[in-house]
Chain A
Amino acid sequence: MRDSTNADYYGASNWTDLYYQYSPTYNVDASISGGSDRANFRFFSGLTKNANTADATSFTRYNGSFYINVAPVKWMMVSSMLSYTRQERERNRNVRDRLAEQRYIPDLTNPLTPNKELYGTYLKEFDKDYATGATDDNTNNLINGYLAISANPFERLNYTGRIGFDYNEGIRDVFWPRTLLEGNNFVSNYFGYNQRLVLTNSLSYDLEIGDAGKLILKGGQNFVSDVYKYDYAYANNTPNDFIKINVVEGDPNKAEYLIPRGFLVNYFPGKMQSKLVSFFGNAVYTHNEMLKLSAVVSREGSSNMQADNRWFTNYSGGIEYDFQDMIINSNTLSSLLATASYGHIGKLLNDDRFNAGPAYRVDLGFTDEPTLGSYSGIGGLSRPYSTGWVGYGIPWAYTNQLNIGLRFGLLEDRLRIGIDGYRKADKDMLMPVPVAAEWGYTGAYKNGLEVNNTGIDITLAAQILPQGANRLGWLFTGNFNYNKNELSALPDGLANVEIGNTRLEIGKPIDAFWILKNNGIYNSDGEVPQNPSTNTPITYKGVPLKAGDPRWVDVNGDYTINDDDKVLEGSYMPKMSGGFGSSLTYNDFSLDFQFYYALKRNALNQYAASRLDFINTEVNNNINSVKEITFWERKQDLSEYPVYNPWSAVVPYRQDQDLFLENASYLKLRSLSIGYDLSRNGTRTAFRKCLLYVTGTNLLTLSPFKGDDPELVNYNGIYNGYGLVNPQSLILGVRVNF
């Protein structure tokens, strides 16, 4: 803190009273249905409110859907569905999120104070009931529906057709008053929609082959059209906090048509479109209900691919064999089914910018100003230097996957086990490869990335004690998944690629951390090894190491610690994961619990790194030095880390070292539920079932992880401590069936 006389930081640290609060959640559903076999309908509506205990965040969802099925003639059924959903979100009041949207970093020397009164005045600025309060409305409207026809005009011939549409719009309205940003207010509006149209037609024909064989042939077509529109506008400093919108001239014939008044508006329109066409043929042969053979071939064309590589042929086939007849005499084995399948499936690109080869984009911005698009007020275009070169001749990426499975039951199926093994090879994937900086590009998109995933999934269900009157029933279920990934090829036959802080190396997992090995601390200058040929101490990228610096391992022995001394270690995706649980019953009582786990999983603790590297974190005025109110929370004991010289030019607490590599394996109790059935199978009450229950979720976590919750690690394995907590919840409920 720069000014220790600042009175804001005296007083009780009781902000948690306002930040963490009990919050109710609820869910109400109702449905009505009616009609006859030839014409029926169903109406469904629901209301769900989900809330987090932290920062008054919540999510409300209203939903209504209507289904009608009509059979105008006996051999044809027309069915339709129309559904509407509205979602409203109360977002958090994080400073970081707000500043990121405002694109403005205020002076960060005085963070929010941990005192309830002062924090309360900050929260008040978000109060919508104030005339000058903040607005932060986030709404989604989803409408989807379909009209489907299924016709069976002749025996053995089936036609199905379907038109479906999906419309999803998102609206975000934001106004943050002057009081929240150094006397500057901010207004923004986002309107975007996703619109999808799906057209499917297929015809199938059933054939009998011999006495026991049955063949179904099916062919058809599928068409998907997507439009994604996103318009965003923002402005700073409206004339005052009462003026939250810019009223513009709406008459296109007038000179000032749509010209902002009173303040400068930054407007970013955007639109993406894509289309996907496919034709498919499918054959399924079953023999005596024991053997099932299936094959699918389809040809797909995507508008996101370049014209000469637009189409791709997918194929897959499978076999399934039921050994029911062979084991009929076995005492222990009660069922046995084996499956195998192989598929060759194309992967879609979800960005439309690859379909034209080399192109020109707006790329005049820089690190803090990515949206700058003009020079002297005139739009400028260039090659996409920041995003990377895109050439011609980009083929489809595809997946080859082999699955083999075995399912069997023992002891009259009281013990059921399923084992599935798979090997999945994702080939020819597109990735940006670094090229010489002298071409200006951050990289060039090239295909040829190949990743193999091998794994096994085991599921188990055991009825240890069968249910019965006055007896304890115990059903145990569990599953276990093991997955191993390996990078098997890179574009252009490269053996390894380094992009920023990640390194991809053939034969290594793709989710490994690329880090220095830390071996403690140099307590005196004399401990620092000297390079015998020059008599100079070992350096970190040219800066000599001194007392108080970390003892990083010089892997290649060249007396310089640099990227060549970094090793690939750990993985952020768990090698093993799964869950297990039990259902115990005794007369009308029931007890259910579910655990889940992830093992052999690592995380890089950015939270600890940036806290310890306070010298660099605090003096920088950027988004990473923002302190949220949760800054005052102790998420981790930092005293166990070595005490380095924080001013050292080698940045001793850099994140890319194994000092911050953590074991993020965990075992969690997802839910624990106790119930009592009042109805006794409908004999005691008017209902068929009337269950009273208490359910607790997220009650227990076992983990060696040092931060607050191993599940709050980002998708890329970085734990930054900014995640909103996963709340514990307690639900009291009644479930009634008529």
Chain B
Amino acid sequence: MKNYLYRWSIAIVALYSITFVSSCNKQLDTASTRQASEDQHWTKFEDARAGLLGMYGLFRAALSDNNAYWILGELRGGDFQAVSRPDLKAVIDGNLNASFPLITEATNWRRYYTIINASNLFIERVGECLVDPRYTESYYKLDIAQARAIRAFAYYMLVRTWGDVPLVTSTGEGNFENFPRTNQSAVLGFAKNELIEVATRLPYQYSTVDPDLVYPPNYYGKGADEWKNTLLGRLSAYAILAHIAALEGDYINAAVYSQFILDNAPKAQLTTVSTSELVSDLFLFSTSDVSWNQFVGFNFIYERGESTTSGHIEQLALANTTAFPMSKQLPDIYVNKDSIAVLFPRSNGNDQRFGFNPLNGLPTEAYFENFSSAIPVFKKIRQVDGGSGDGTFAKYNSSIVFTRLEEITLLNAEALAVLGRGEEAIQKLNTMRSNRGISGLNYSADLDLITEIFAERRRELLGEGWRWFDLVRYNKLKRNNPAFNDLIDKGGIYWPIAQDVINRNPGIQQNNYWK
């Protein structure tokens, strides 16, 4: 018995010793499952896809964070007023050095540079995925072209907001050098060259059957109908080019690029939309064909669980109306009746976006609801809970639409008007006006066409993040407002730079106007 126990104990000791030996260094190679490690990455088709969509996702995040797209573009000097939030009021009044967290965060350009860093990294590294035979040369070329277009677009967004910004075109992984601000014309020059170079490498549509076999069919496993114009295509690149040209005051090129888009719109399934499509389907990226028209835009797809509360004008502008029972009683921002009257003068007749029905005198409610109350609700863009929501679950799906065919048409008209081709311009403008049910203008020498075109932009693009940048272009053309001239001359048209950005990089100086 004793002998048996003795042997049993020896066996246990032996078992222990084996485990002792086995717990060697190899055990310590435990890769994290929560991230993709550097040495395994950029080896597969899926890595390229994840990197590509990552850039788009970062772009969406930069525009959505704190609703920056509207804070930076729509509010300052615009038609919206704050109901009670002092931070929004400060933005609207142009007091951009007020110390509200919203302004501090919206003036921080870090998120735009995540896009730029991600694009630089993608351009440098995605070629390594070619080891995967599924990742063909045609994928590679198309992905690089998109990355360069995304980067150029990010620089355009930076320049129009802050003026001179550092130009970073490589990853500089790990060294984190401090770059000074680069002159804005050099930054825009870089963006322009990049876009001109890649535009012809981008397709009009993704995933279509290409007889020349340049573009991959069934791109990343999705059909043309699923991609629609989610990704930057050829016309998207020209749209950005047209806006860069307009920002620089180079209206010749603005006219050329925008005309190219108008001429080739059908190739990318771009159309103008009816007023009812504008206020129902256009901003919802879904199975509806209207959403092809978001040809530079960022979507939040309901079916894919991308509904969010911020990143949408709805978060600021929507509230309870008799037709839409949201629990939020008052919006954060609204367009008051006086502004609505200026925007949609009765002399224009019955504008489908907002007007009064001549038969019963009731307002048409395409853009606004609760017009009879002191605070009308701006509901042009209202994509709640997948578009079908009744307002009780306030998560939104509207896409951030940078441009659509109407916007490009009006830009084209603006360029033509500046170039003295008023008759062509008025034709474009009148097409847009008649689409919304208002009568056309007659060409005459004393008609202030530029003002009319900007008035139409103001109506058509209300709530789409354009107002401030339109005001800047308009006043640069007109120079008839001394206060605005002062802003233009002293750099006050640019936003201040967040203190955090200045603290991190001693090479960055605050914009002179905001010092």
Residues of A participating in the B interface, judged by any CB pair closer than 8 Å: 2, 72-73, 76, 104-107, 109, 149, 151, 159, 161, 182-184, 199, 201, 221, 223, 225, 236-237, 264, 266, 270-275, 277, 301-303, 307, 310, 352-353, 355-361, 363-369, 372, 374-385, 389, 391, 434-442, 444, 498, 540-543, 562-563, 615-616, 619-621, 647, 649-651, 654
Q: Nearest chain A CB to B120's CB is how many angstroms away?
A: 10
Q: Taking the complex as formed, is B30 at the interface, i.e. its CB lies under 8 A from any CB of chain A?
A: yes
A-B contact pairs, 14 of them (CB 8 A): A73-B5, A76-B9, A107-B328, A199-B23, A223-B19, A223-B27, A358-B38, A372-B61, A375-B53, A439-B168, A439-B172, A620-B85, A621-B328, A649-B86
Interface centre among A360, A651, A654 (most CB of B within 10 A): A360
- Stretch from B108-116, B141-149, B248-256 at the A interface: B108-116
A223-B27, A374-B305, A543-B99 as given contacts; A437 in contact with B311, CB under 8 Å: no
Is A273's CB under 8 angstroms from B30's CB? yes
Residues of A with C-beta under 8 A to B57 = 364, 372, 374-375, 380, 382
Q: Which of A307, A444, A650 contacts B29 (CB 8 A)?
A: A307
Closest B residue to A226 by CB, please name it: B30
Is A437's CB under 8 angstroms from B108's CB? yes
Is A543's CB under 8 angstroms from B33's CB? no
Q: Taking the complex as formed, is B95 at the interface, i.e. its CB lies under 8 A from any CB of chain A?
A: yes
A381-B51, A436-B504 as given contacts; A372 in contact with B308, CB under 8 Å: yes
Q: Which of A105, A201, A277, A498 contacts B16 (CB 8 A)?
A: A201
Q: Taking the complex as formed, is B37 at the interface, i.e. its CB lies under 8 A from any CB of chain A?
A: yes
Residues of A with C-beta under 8 A to B97 = 541-543
Bound CA–CA A667/B503 (angstroms): 41
Is A73's CB under 8 angstroms from B9's CB? yes
- Stretch from B173-181, B272-280, B405-413, B478-486 at the A interface: B173-181
Bound CA–CA A692/B177 (angstroms): 72
Is A275's CB under 8 angstroms from B27's CB? yes
Q: Taking the complex as formed, is B514 at the interface, i.e. its CB lies under 8 A from any CB of chain A?
A: yes
Is B51's CB under 8 angstroms from A151's CB? no
A104-B395, A357-B37 as given contacts; A436 in contact with B179, CB under 8 Å: yes
Q: Taking the complex as formed, is B157 at the interface, i.e. its CB lies under 8 A from any CB of chain A?
A: no
Is A109's CB under 8 angstroms from B30's CB? no
Bound CA–CA A518/B219 (angstroms): 61
Interface members, chain B 285-334 (any A CB < 8 Å): 299, 301, 303-306, 308-311, 326-330, 332
Q: Which of B8, B109, B305, B330 contacts A264 (CB 8 A)?
A: B305
Closest B residue to A178 by CB, please name it: B392
Q: Which of A236, A301, A359, A380 contacts B50 (CB 8 A)?
A: A380
Q: Which of A379, A384, A440 contacts B35 (CB 8 A)?
A: A384
Q: Taking the complex as formed, is B501 at the interface, i.e. its CB lies under 8 A from any CB of chain A?
A: yes
Q: Taking the complex as formed, is B213 at the interface, i.e. its CB lies under 8 A from any CB of chain A?
A: no
Q: Taking the complex as formed, is B105 at the interface, i.e. its CB lies under 8 A from any CB of chain A?
A: yes
Is A72's CB under 8 angstroms from B28's CB? no
Q: Taking the complex as formed, is B470 at the interface, i.e. its CB lies under 8 A from any CB of chain A?
A: no
A73-B2, A367-B66, A616-B86 as given contacts; A303 in contact with B179, CB under 8 Å: no
A374-B305, A384-B35, A439-B172 as given contacts; A107 in contact with B395, CB under 8 Å: no
Residues of A with C-beta under 8 A to B47 = 381
Q: Nearest chain B CB to A298's CB is how many angstroms away?
A: 14
Closest B residue to A103 by CB, please name it: B309
Bound CA–CA A199/B23 (angstroms): 9
The total number of A-B Cβ pairs within 8 Å is 298
Closest B residue to A367 by CB, please name it: B65
Bound CA–CA A687/B120 (angstroms): 81
Bound CA–CA A442/B117 (angstroms): 13
Closest B residue to A352 by CB, please name it: B32
Residues of A with C-beta under 8 A to B85 = 619-620
Residues of A with C-beta under 8 A to B86 = 615-616, 619, 647, 649
Q: Nearest chain A CB to B4's CB is how many angstroms away?
A: 9
Bound CA–CA A650/B306 (angstroms): 36
Interface centre among B24, B39, B118, B220 (most CB of A within 10 A): B118
Residues of B with C-beta under 8 A to A540 = 99
Is B174's CB under 8 angstroms from A389's CB? yes
Is B25's CB under 8 angstroms from A301's CB? yes
Residues of B with C-beta under 8 A to A437 = 108-110, 113, 500-501, 504-505
Closest A residue to B19 by CB, please name it: A199
Closest A residue to B221 by CB, please name it: A378
Bound CA–CA A270/B49 (angstroms): 22
Please classify how large the interface on chain B is, using the bins under 10, 10 to 19, 20 to 34, 35 or more: 35 or more
Residues of A with C-beta under 8 A to B362 = none
Q: Nearest chain B CB to A76's CB is how many angstroms away?
A: 5
Q: Taking the complex as formed, is B499 at the interface, i.e. its CB lies under 8 A from any CB of chain A?
A: yes
Is B327's CB under 8 angstroms from A377's CB? no
Q: Which of A76, A302, A355, A563 contacts B31 (CB 8 A)?
A: A355
Q: Taking the complex as formed, is B41 at the interface, i.e. its CB lies under 8 A from any CB of chain A?
A: yes
Q: Taking the complex as formed, is B374 at the interface, i.e. its CB lies under 8 A from any CB of chain A?
A: no
Q: Which of A201, A365, A385 contacts B117 (CB 8 A)?
A: A385
Is A444's CB under 8 angstroms from B176's CB? yes
Bound CA–CA A440/B2 (angstroms): 71
Residues of A with C-beta under 8 A to B507 = 436
Q: Which of A109, A376, A543, A647 contacts B329 (CB 8 A)?
A: A109
Interface members, chain B 355-378 (any A CB < 8 Å): none
Bound CA–CA A264/B305 (angstroms): 7
Q: Taking the complex as formed, is B12 at the interface, i.e. its CB lies under 8 A from any CB of chain A?
A: yes
Is B166's CB under 8 angstroms from A382's CB? no
Interface centre among A378, A444, A543 (most CB of B within 10 A): A378
Is B118's CB under 8 angstroms from A440's CB? yes
Is B13's CB under 8 angstroms from A374's CB? no
Q: Taking the complex as formed, is B56 at the interface, i.e. its CB lies under 8 A from any CB of chain A?
A: yes
Residues of B with C-beta under 8 A to A438 = 113, 116, 166, 168, 178-179, 505
Q: Taking the complex as formed, is B230 at the interface, i.e. its CB lies under 8 A from any CB of chain A?
A: yes
Provide the B44-72 mask, 1 if CB < 8 A to any CB of A, else 0.
00010111111111101100111000000
Is B99's CB under 8 angstroms from A651's CB? yes
Closest A residue to B110 by CB, please name it: A437
Q: Nearest chain B CB to A305's CB is how many angstroms away?
A: 8
Q: Nearest chain B CB to A416's CB is how many angstroms away?
A: 43
Is B303's CB under 8 angstroms from A377's CB? yes
Extra 8 A-B pairs, beta carbons < 8 Å, given A223-B19, A366-B64, A380-B58: A303-B27, A353-B34, A379-B50, A380-B51, A436-B176, A436-B505, A438-B168, A439-B117
**Can you list the 6 inter-chain pairs with the closest CB atoms, starting with the nearest?**
A364-B57, A377-B304, A542-B97, A356-B37, A440-B114, A380-B54
Is A616's CB under 8 angstroms from B87's CB? yes
Q: Taking the complex as formed, is B84 at the interface, i.e. its CB lies under 8 A from any CB of chain A?
A: yes
Q: Nearest chain B CB to A652's CB is how many angstroms away?
A: 10
Is A301's CB under 8 angstroms from B230's CB? no
Bound CA–CA A434/B34 (angstroms): 24
Closest B residue to A442 by CB, please name it: B110
Is A383's CB under 8 angstroms from B117's CB? yes
Q: Taking the complex as formed, is B121 at the interface, i.e. its CB lies under 8 A from any CB of chain A?
A: yes
Residues of B with C-beta under 8 A to A272 = 32-34
Bound CA–CA A168/B58 (angstroms): 37
Is B114's CB under 8 angstroms from A385's CB? yes
Q: Which of B176, B326, B514 contacts A439 (CB 8 A)?
A: B176
